Amino acid sequence: MNPNNSLVKIELKVPLCCQDCEETVRVQLGELEGVKDVNVDLSIQKVIVIGYNHVKLEPSTVLNSVKKVKNRAQLWIPSRIN
């Protein structure tokens, strides 16, 4: 497996009220270097960014970018399974 082709997944919690918000976030993150795909689940306010690992896309980079349009965004914290 070529590590240059591997992908990273970065999950964020972003307050999104409507499809306009979704589109804003998609456009913002789509312009970020190393981003391959942006998936948005409006119902749970979750944004999943798929990036190219070789660009070394960091969660903090993605978070700072999305904060420019949605300043209450935060990294997604996986819910615990008890």
By CB under 5 A, name the binding residues for Zn ion.
Answer: 17-18, 20-21
- In the complex, least distance from residue 57 CB atom to Zn ion, rounded to whole angstroms: 26
Distances (CA, A) of 27 to 13, 21, 56, 78: 17, 10, 20, 25
User: 11: which 2 tokens?
Assistant: 């999950």
- Which bin fits 76, alpha (ψ -120 to 50), beta or left (φ > 0)? beta
Task: Note whether 14 and 62 are within 8 A (CB).
Answer: no
Q: Which is nearer to Zn ion, 12 or 57 (CB)?
A: 12
- In the complex, least distance from residue 66 CB atom to Zn ion, rounded to whole angstroms: 14
Q: Which is nearer to Zn ion, 20 or 31 (CB)?
A: 20
Q: Which is nearer to Zn ion, 47 or 57 (CB)?
A: 47
- In the complex, least distance from residue 20 CB atom to Zn ion, rounded to whole angstroms: 5
